[in-house]
Amino acid sequence: MMKRIGLLTSGGDCQALNATMRGVVKGLANLTDELEVYGFDDGYKGLIYGKYRMLTSKDFSGILTQGGTILGTSRQPFKLMRVPDEKGLDKVEAMKQTYYKLCLDCLVILGGNGTQKTANLLREEGLNIIHLPKTIDNDIWGTDMTFGFQTAVNVATDAIDGIHTTASSHGRVFIVEVMGHKVGSLTLHAGIAGGADIILIPEIPYDIKKVTAAIQKRAKAGKRFTILAVAEGAISKEDAKLSKKKLKELQAEKAKKYPSVSYEIAEKIEKQGIEVRITVPGHTQRGGSPCAYDRVLSTRIGAGAAEAIMDEEYGIMVGIVNGKIKRVPLAECAGKLKTVSPKDQTVKAAKAIGISFGD
């Protein structure tokens, strides 16, 4: 039985996109003799403007260990999907026309939260959609783990590990800024794994006095250095009390003065006469080869998607819950963010061993 599927990767890239697409295609190739796979260039952009190519088994050979995405990706904000482009093109209608023109049985979409919202929109428009949860933030509701997360944790942990020796040699305070605007999972895990002394995440607003007190307490105990793992979206208790509008205005003002949140925190700490250095691993957290854990997870999720396609069960996300592959209805999970609870066992464990969250 012939199966025609489309593949696209959207949003920020990560290390295990290729491994997951490989899992889908290899899984389908084992289940059906007739298979056509169309890859869309640069995410939803390729679907909107009809930029695609037919892929063969050769395209998926040797990409298990390759980071990034062979299809390319782009960010297409969900809130602009219903807004016509500069030439007046109806993007949603254009995506549907591309789908029907190719007579696709299903469109497999790999991406994070914004990508998932658009995937759900296409489901509501009547297309057969399967979403696969990709993000280094592990913030997608309905799955215990996203592919890309564990590799990013490893990269961020390596960055913190590398800072340890220089921090202890010079007796300095170091801030390592980890990716994550809204959710602190990556910072939390890398901070614990890297032996950070202070972890600041968006879900637990910090009091700068408590942060400096934790640094001074270490100094009094004879510790020569302190390492802070700080999420991009770390927020002070004062700022957390502001309305969304006021906070946006304040952040726009701060952006003129500080390259990122770490520079603001560093300035506040330095007022106490403490020397601070900042390291920003940045996009290295999205790059390189996927770790073994992510290769296995991606293969399982890809194979799970192939089975769902053969079962003709669409309008779902293929996630992992309690160690098992699960088909989660897109209507249930789209638009929901999975955040770190301040009561999370991992947070409690970190606090139990003396890591400060500045709260």
The encoded tokens of residue 162 equal 């590398």
Burial 215-237 (b: 16+ CB within 10 A, else e): beebeeeeeebbbbbbbbbbbbe
Cβ atoms 160, 176 nearer than 8 A: yes
Burial 138-164 (b: 16+ CB within 10 A, else e): bbbbbbebbbbbbbbbbbbbbbbeebe
137 in active site: yes
Cβ atoms 223, 168 nearer than 8 A: no
Question: Given the DSSP bridges, would you call strands 316-321 and 324-329 parallel, antiparallel or unpaired?
Answer: antiparallel
Q: How far apart are the first and last CA of the chain?
A: 59
Cβ atoms 103, 3 nearer than 8 A: no
CB atoms within 10 A of CB 238: 11
Catalytic residue, chosen from 137, 139, 197, 294, is 137
DSSP 8-state assignment for residue 325: E
CA angle 195–196–201, rounded 5-degree value: 130
| Residue 166 to residues 45, 132, 189, 341, Cα–Cα distance (Å) | 44, 40, 22, 33
Q: Which residue has the tokens 């999970």?
A: 333
Among 20, 290, 294, 19, smallest CA distance to 131 is for 20
| Catalytic residue list | 137
